[in-house]
Amino acid sequence: MRGIEGGEGLHKITDLDVVMLFDPWEYLGPKRRRMLERGWAGLFQRDLLKELPVDRIAPRFHPNFGRPTKELHTMLGVLVLQQMLDQTDAETVETLAYDVRWHYALNLPGETDAEKYVSERTVRNYRRMLIELELDGVLFEGLTAKLAKVFKVPVSKQRLDSTHIVSNMRRLSRIGLFVAVITRFLKNLKRQHVECYGVIPAEVLERYLTKKGKGCFGQPKPSRTQETLQGTAEDLLLLVEMFKNDEAVTRMASYRMMQRLLSEQCEVKGEDEDGRVEVKPPKGIRSDSLQNPSDPDATYDGHKGQGYQVQLVETYREEEQEEAHRPDLITYVEVEGAHLHDGQALAPALNNLEERELKPNSMLGDTSYGSDDNVQYAARHGVELIAPAQGGGAEERLGLEDFEIEETSGEIISCPIGEKPVVVRRSFSEKLNTYICIALFDVDACMSCDEMGRCPKRMGVDTAEVRYDEKQLRLARRRRFEKTEEFREKYRWRAGLEATNARYKSLMGAGRLRVRSLPSVRYAAKLKALGMNILRCGRVRAAILGLEGSLQQFRRLWTTLSCRVAWQLATWTPA
């Protein structure tokens, strides 16, 4: 028994391998017990409860001092189930107290408050502890690996995509952002450094801290928007300059946020009193700049707006070829800024899956992941990346993929209309560190060709030239393959991940989270993906056990009928 550092208590870890002499769940009756055993509650108790990493949280507890805490398997399980069912802290406390499914999943047959009651504060404290220890990733990876092993999930085929999520923050305009940052600083300064607060001009305090003053920022006329924004920028610069030499004030997080906002959104021109600061145009602002003072980690995507993006990798089955009773599992989850390009996510995902021995043979992705560098990187790791090639030309123009190219050497055999090159040269460029292939065609034949306006050849005096390197050749071969039925048959399975994204955001509540900041968002995103895996496996388990129960009933019926027929034959006497 141990207690938490700082005096929160001795902890308890139940030995789940102990066999009970009597069945503690017998009071439920056979029908309710069968329903629990077939669903996610039975799956959690039988296969996942023992896998919870209680040993990773135990070092946070003092060996001799403190009050007794709740059983650690129970607390970690509660946090997983809370995200799985998308519940608030108050709902979690109530559900743990009264819901028999939670009791069965967490193996709590008793009826004492010590087993089935926790306060909202306890839930918050343990959640904060898991976030600090980054156990959300340990929980997701450990329990997902267990589910994959129990259900023998094939991992040879997987697909990758991203989805946009939003933390619990208010969307702000640029004026609203400036006002919120300045207001936060003024309130904190008044609370922490009253003497510094007293030197701020009264008109600035009235503008940002009184209801009457704030009215001038609410929905200004379009013609005055820029003027209002310029005024807030000047106030921002005034406050930053006023306290830049005060060490106590500069250590405040709200002051550093003002400095960040000033550097990202404004440009300081000089030392003159007038026109020292100029607000940058929207196109001149980086996408990873401050979006909201309540969540400084959130960034901006020009297509989807403020927030974060989640990279998801999921196994999939081609149903016509594989067994139906195999759940699709989310094998990888990572949260990143909304401004990052999807193409950067493939390498970390493959490395993570390879370390966990879940690496696929083939990976499906959309065009964002289909760069040549990603395809080559995946190939070096033994993975076939199936994704449309990036940067394809316009459909009305011809490309290198329309030429007939020799498979081994990569040299052009003929152009799209069948004209053969006069000469083909292939040489190594030390400057570009790649092979360059040049095909020269008769310029007279090209000038009389009907496709000259669409052709990529460069016209010279005597010849028309087609020049390409190894990368362009690889892209051309990929684009040619994309036009085949084989590619369409393979790639059509990628669309299934869009349904997973929709369920993840709506069913699991990941679309708009209840938390803010990157660590908390990552915690919620990973545990919601784990909860989605548990629910999927629970449905498959229910289907399998339901089928087995039907087969058992059929066997019993068949045995009964067989015995009756045998008895009648044995006792039958001819008339």
Q: What is the mean pLDDT of the chain?
A: 85
Question: In the prediction, which pLDDT does 9 show?
Answer: 44
What is the distance between the alpha carbons of residues 558 and 553, in angstroms, rounded to a whole number? 8
User: What residues form DSSP beta bridges with 301?
Assistant: 305
* pLDDT tens track for 418-468: 888 888 888 888 787 888 888 888 888 888 787 777 888 888 777 888 888
Residue 549 has pLDDT above 60, yes or no: no
* pLDDT tens track for 486-541: 999 999 999 999 999 999 999 999 999 999 999 999 999 999 999 999 999 999 88
Question: In the prediction, which pLDDT does 4 show?
Answer: 38
With 0-12 / 13-18 / 19 or more C-beta atoms within 10 angstroms meaning exposed / middle / buried, residue 245 is exposed
Cα 286 versus chain centre, distance:
22
3-state helix, strand, coil split of the chain in percent (to 5) is 50, 15, 35
Question: In the prediction, which pLDDT does 3 show?
Answer: 37
What is the distance between the alpha carbons of residues 373 and 370, in angstroms, rounded to a whole number? 8
What is the distance between the alpha carbons of residues 224 and 212, in angstroms, rounded to a whole number? 18
Question: In the prediction, which pLDDT does 105 show?
Answer: 94
69: nearest Cα among 127, 133, 6, 13: 13
Question: In the prediction, which pLDDT does 408 show?
Answer: 81
Residue of 21 and 570 predicted with greater confidence: 21
* pLDDT tens track for 229-257: 888 898 999 999 999 999 999 999 999 99
Cα 269 versus chain centre, distance:
41
Lowest average pLDDT, out of 16-25, 129-138, 285-294, 407-416, goes to 16-25
Hey, CA dihedral for 38, 39, 45, 46, is it positive or negative?
Answer: positive
Residue 558 has pLDDT above 70, yes or no: no
Is there a contact between 458 and 359 (Cβ–Cβ < 8 Å)?
no
Residue 143 has pLDDT above 60, yes or no: yes
Question: In the prediction, which pLDDT does 164 show?
Answer: 94
* pLDDT tens track for 336-360: 999 999 999 999 999 999 999 999 9
Exposed e or buried b per residue across 45-62, where buried means at least 16 C-beta atoms within 10 angstroms of its C-beta? bebbbebbbbebbeebbb
Question: In the prediction, which pLDDT does 441 show?
Answer: 86
Residue 13 has pLDDT above 90, yes or no: no
Percent above pLDDT 70 for the chain: 86
Exposed e or buried b per residue across 251-280, where buried means at least 16 C-beta atoms within 10 angstroms of its C-beta? ebebbebbeebbeebbeeeeeeeeebbebe
Residue of 420 and 160 predicted with greater confidence: 160
* pLDDT tens track for 81-122: 999 999 999 999 999 999 999 999 999 988 888 889 999 999
With 0-12 / 13-18 / 19 or more C-beta atoms within 10 angstroms meaning exposed / middle / buried, residue 172 is middle
Residue of 317 and 23 predicted with greater confidence: 317
Question: In the prediction, which pLDDT does 86 show?
Answer: 94
DSSP structure string for 179-219:
HHHHHHHHHHHHHH-HHHHTTS-HHHHHHHHSHHHHGGGSS
* 3-state class (DSSP) for residue 315: strand
Give residue for tokens 């679309």. 511
What is the distance between the alpha carbons of residues 304 and 218, in angstroms, rounded to a whole number? 25
Structure-derived torsion over alpha carbons of residues 50, 55, 60, 63, reported in degrees to the nearest 10: 110
- The two structure tokens encoding residue 334: 């990572």
* 3-state class (DSSP) for residue 534: helix
* 3-state class (DSSP) for residue 244: coil
Question: In the prediction, which pLDDT does 53 show?
Answer: 92
Question: In the prediction, which pLDDT does 1 show?
Answer: 34
7 pLDDT band, cuts 50/70/90, is very low
Question: In the prediction, which pLDDT does 65 show?
Answer: 72
Which range is most confident: 306-315, 387-396, 544-553?
Answer: 306-315
Question: In the prediction, which pLDDT does 277 show?
Answer: 87
| Per-domain residue ranges of the chain | 1-133, 174-284, 400-470
Is there a contact between 292 and 338 (Cβ–Cβ < 8 Å)?
no
In 10 A of CB 287, how many CB atoms? 14
